[in-house]
Structure 1
């Protein structure tokens, strides 16, 4: 067994052995799907009360993903925990002693965690979509409709990227309390304010979550961004890559 394979196996064992990481992923799935289903059910029952303009611009696909705004917080928690658990317990010293090549250590963790959150993100996105459309009934859309499959796959990628962004930031901060104190209020509240208030909208709409969610919309006017869905996802990829690179440089320069 090669050194890289042993490191990957070690990282997989770490992820499985921390119970809280399993619960955060389960929470992300259940909250995203459950809340999305609730909102789709309420929307279906009140659809006739909408104005004609609201009905014409209604985005059934994006409505299915209404729970992801809360579910993404659990994905962020997962990203924080798989990094900070080693720092808070002091296990990071043993990990770096066993794997002194810090790039190998970080990218192995990213590969294992990234593959896991991508699978969970895809399951979450497809479940949210199909359950949501079933509840919307005649107001729903099919997976084969224009732009829908892109939005559903994009939703899964978005959930994975938000977790990986949290991984990178936590490697920079190294403290679970500091990471949670910054990331949770930022994505739950601050980003939404900056992305929707007229004075800060031009800048706020380029924040990672504001840009990334664009890929989940099918109706162009749903989010009213100056870029398309794939461009929005690429902006989020750039944010995630920057966070991971920053985490790598901090890990390489600082002592454990």
Structure 2
């Protein structure tokens, strides 16, 4: 009963803060818009592709090109959900009302994750269908092997990004510090590590690179990644679990 009351309280908090609602909307708009743009460019450039590139053309993954920017809005959402109360000082009131810190954190995570998952799945399906409509005769169908898995996986990926961000924010408590670490990590460091030959094999095991494998349907000919789509998502889940456990442990040990 106490857990249900906490969930209701967290739902009220999240929907009453305009910044969290706007970030979810931004995640949808950016992902869909960029996916449509890249799908348009891919369709126009298809005839100029080499035979090898045509063979490995992945229309599903093309439509998800906007995830790289949409995930940044999900990161902001995850950070704000957890750290807003620290920046305003409301965390003291919240913990006084719910002294069981595990229950408090679980309620916050449950509501925010459910929202992120719903928005992520809607975004993923809308992005896919609009992208395939633009691709026309080069499109993939939802009934094709691996496509439904990729589309559902896109929604799961966005929710996991938000959960990972919530775990980091619970550890760091500061929204500026959390965003100052997460934004460069996902937008710069991960991309650099994944595209430099010396660090490429390490980069494959970072949460975003491993998790995004779930959205891939056609495997590139030179791809020697040691895990498949579900294996990559599993690696991302491990990263999320570590972040959430770290946030819970520090929340239990520290004063508000």
How many residue pairs align between the two structures? 255
Deviation at 1:167, TM superposition (A): 0.1
Aligned counterpart, 2:232: 232
Deviation at 1:52, TM superposition (A): 1.1
CA distance in 2, matches of 1:255, 1:97: 11
Give ranges in structure 1 of 5+ residues lacking alignment. none
Aligned counterpart, 1:135: 134
Aligned counterpart, 2:170: 171
CA distance in 1, matches of 2:221, 2:233: 16
Deviation at 1:222, TM superposition (A): 7.7
- Residue-by-residue CA offset, 1:121-173 (whole Å, 9 max, x unaligned): 00000001000000000001100000000000000000000000000000000
Aligned counterpart, 2:245: 245
Deviation at 1:223, TM superposition (A): 8.8
CA distance in 1, matches of 2:242, 2:103: 18
Give ranges in structure 2 of 5+ residues lacking alignment. none
Aligned counterpart, 2:73: 74
Aligned counterpart, 1:200: 199
* TM-score, scaled relative to structure 2: 0.98
Aligned counterpart, 2:159: 160
Aligned counterpart, 1:217: 216
Are 2:47 and 1:48 aligned?
A: yes
CA distance in 2, matches of 1:103, 1:14: 18
CA distance in 2, matches of 1:113, 1:250: 20
Instruction: Flag the 1:148–1:222 CA change in 2: closer, same or farther, 3 A.
Output: farther
Where 1:58 maps in the other structure, the secondary structure is coil
RMSD: 0.9
- Residue-by-residue CA offset, 1:62-114 (whole Å, 9 max, x unaligned): 00100000000000000000111100000000000000000000011110001
CA distance in 1, matches of 2:32, 2:164: 22
CA distance in 1, matches of 2:220, 2:107: 40
Deviation at 1:46, TM superposition (A): 1.5
Paired residues of 1:59 and 1:222 also in contact (CA < 8 A): no
CA distance in 1, matches of 2:55, 2:222: 15
Aligned counterpart, 2:121: 122
CA distance in 2, matches of 1:223, 1:123: 32
Paired residues of 1:15 and 1:82 also in contact (CA < 8 A): yes
Aligned counterpart, 1:189: 188
CA distance in 1, matches of 2:2, 2:248: 20
CA distance in 2, matches of 1:114, 1:86: 17
